[in-house]
Amino acid sequence: MAISGSYFDVMLIGPGAVLAGGFTSVSGLGMEADYEVYTEGGSSYPRFFFKNVKPQTLVLEQGVITTVDSVSLLMAMVNQGMSIPLAGAIILKDSFGVPQREWTVIGAHLQKYVGPSLDSNQASVAVNRIELIHNGCF
């Protein structure tokens, strides 16, 4: 179901950093687990043993960051070999700003940032794309 004029309100918080803004497109809101299948001799019912969660990529596109230079802080930390885990909520809002659906993300780490195209004829603070690696959301 597409909601005309809808957007995603993102608020991810970590120690000393906040990533907040509105985005028109969000993908990677999922989870994938890996299991080992074991079948004992003489049994026709397999048993499943949890192995691990496969990392997913959360992609935030075409948005505006509303916090003060938090992306620069996160990028500077990654350049120094550090990564801050971010946790928070992604809320789908309709054109009136009323929440329609919410997802919670825990343990997201900045993986990629693509800034806006610089054009002196436009006052733009938009973000083209932010990618965060995470272990699933709910």
Residue 58 tokens read as 């959360």
Rounded Cα distance between 107 and 118, Å, is: 31
3-16 pLDDT per residue, tens: 557 899 999 999 88
Indicate the SS3 state at residue 46: coil
| C-beta of residue 128 within 8 angstroms of C-beta of residue 118 | no
Cα dihedral 113/31/7/94 (nearest 10): -170
**Who contacts 2 (Cβ-Cβ below 8 Å, separation ≥6)?**
none
Residue 31's alpha-carbon distances to 14, 134, 135, in angstroms, are 21, 9, 7
72-127 pLDDT per residue, tens: 888 888 889 888 899 999 999 998 999 999 999 999 999 998 877 776 676 555 67
13-60 pLDDT per residue, tens: 998 888 898 999 999 988 888 899 888 887 788 888 988 888 999 999
Rounded Cα distance between 32 and 136, Å, is: 7
Rounded Cα distance between 118 and 106, Å, is: 32
